[in-house]
Structure 1
C-alpha cells in the first residue's frame, strides 16, 4: 500500500449529506484510487484543515491537499474533476470559465447552508469495507 503523501487528500464533512454524496461521486469515478479521503471530524482531517488555514469546527470551504499545497473552494473542485479525466476534465474547464469572484462566493454560500439545504447525518459517514483503504483515520 502506498504512502498518504503519494496521493491527494480530500477533506470532507463526514456528517453532511451533500459532502457524503461528493465522496460517493469520487469513489465511483476515481477508479484508479488517486484520492484519499479524510473526514474533518477525524484527527487527520482536522490537522489538514488547520495546516491550511481553515477552521476544523466550521469550514465553509472544500479542501484538497496535493503534496504540501492546499487548494480550496472551486479551485479544489476543478482540480479534482480534472484529475478524474474523461468528461470530468471538460467539466473542470467549464467551471474555470466562470470568474473566481463569482464561483467562490456561490460555493461558500452553499457550504454555509449545506445542512439546511441537504441535511445532516447523526454520525460521521463510514466507508464500505472494500473502500476503507481510501479513508484516512
Structure 2
C-alpha cells in the first residue's frame, strides 16, 4: 500500500461523500490524495490500525501517513489546503475553533442521507480514476 500520499476515507454509500471525492479528484492537481471507502477492507484496516471508532466518528477521515489523522471539519479543511482555489479559505476557516466548525459539520453529516440520498453499494471508480483508490 502506498503510504506516501494523504488518504481520504469516506462513506462509500453516501451521495454527498461520493460527490466530494469526485470534486477532490478534479481539483487535486498535485496528486496529493488517495481514497478508500470506510466500508472497504482497506478502509477498515486503516481505521483499525489507528484505533478509530467509526461508530463514534461518522465522518470523513484524512490520514497523513506518519504525521496524523484528521476528522470532521479538520479533515475537510486540511484537504482544502491542498486544492488550488481553496487553500486560502481553508486556512481562514481553520482559525475558527473546531468545536464551532463541527456543529455545522455534524448537522450536515446527520442529514446527508436525507438531503443527498444513499447508494446501495460503494461507488466503482472509473478507469481514469482507479489509480487514485487503494
Name the TM-score, length of structure 2 as normaliser: 0.89
Comparing 18-27 with 50-59, greater Cα deviation is found at 50-59
Secondary structure, aligned partner of 1:33: coil
Comparing 6-15 with 108-117, greater Cα deviation is found at 108-117
1:4 corresponds to which residue? 2
Whichever structure has more helix as a proportion of its residues is 1
Distance 1:109 1:49 in 2: 23
1:103 corresponds to which residue? 101
Distance 2:108 2:46 in 1: 22
Comparing 11-20 with 47-56, greater Cα deviation is found at 47-56
| Deviation (angstroms), 1:58 | 7.0
Q: Give the paired residue count.
A: 133
Alpha carbons of 1:57 and 1:132: their partners in 2 closer, same or farther (altered >3 Å)?
A: farther
Q: Which runs of 5+ in 2 are unaligned?
A: none
State the superposition RMSD in angstroms: 1.7
2:119 corresponds to which residue? 121
Distance 2:43 2:6 in 1: 13
| Deviation (angstroms), 1:74 | 1.1
1:74 corresponds to which residue? 73
Alpha carbons of 1:51 and 1:109: their partners in 2 closer, same or farther (altered >3 Å)?
A: farther
